[in-house]
Amino acid sequence: MTTQTNPPPTTSPPPPSPPTTTDTNNQQRTAEAKAAFTASLRSAGAHHDAALRDRAQTLRANDAALQRQEAELARTTAQLGRQNEQWGKVADQARDGLKEIGDVQNWAELIERDLLVVEEVLREVEGDSHGQYRDSDGDSDSDSDGGMVVDDDDDAKKKDGKGKAKGWFSWW
């Protein structure tokens, strides 16, 4: 019997195989796909970058406009506040004036009543001093001769053309 021995295993790598056209085509397609993908990413990035830059520029421009508007609004608000204070003072003065007019009117009415009382008393006194008297039944005025006494004060009061002659403040 003969014994056969197996050759010892080799530890060296196999020799490189010659490049085939399929591998080369695959590598070329992969490189082209990577380049196309990178180009599309750059294009999308550039598009978004341009849009974002436009927005940032618009925001900066609007910021300046908004600051101007804010300053104008603050100025206008302060001006309206001052005008409101002025109108408040005018309203207070008008209210005080109306109160004063009311006080004057009340005072005038009191004086008018007092003057009417004085006027009535004077009419009675002047009537008694001119010879007026009441009959025993108290319904007619006559002088000592039996004739009627005419009261000239009533005619003098009606000369203002309105027929109203009562009181000192009849115009009020």
More confident: 67 or 102: 67
Amino acid at 71: A
Q: What is the mean pLDDT of the chain?
A: 76
Residue 158 has pLDDT above 50, yes or no: no
Which tokens go with 3? 């014994």
CB-based contacts of 136: which residues, under 8 Å, 6+ apart? Answer: none
Q: Count Cα atoms within 13 angstroms, Cβ side, for 63.
A: 6
- pLDDT number for residue 16: 59
Q: What is the pLDDT of residues 91-101, one digit of tens each?
A: 999 998 888 88
Helical H runs in the chain? 21-129, 152-157
Residue 14: is its pLDDT beyond 70?
no
pLDDT grade for 83, boundaries at 50, 70 and 90 = very high
Provide the residue count of the chain.
172
- For tokens 């009535």, name the residue: 120
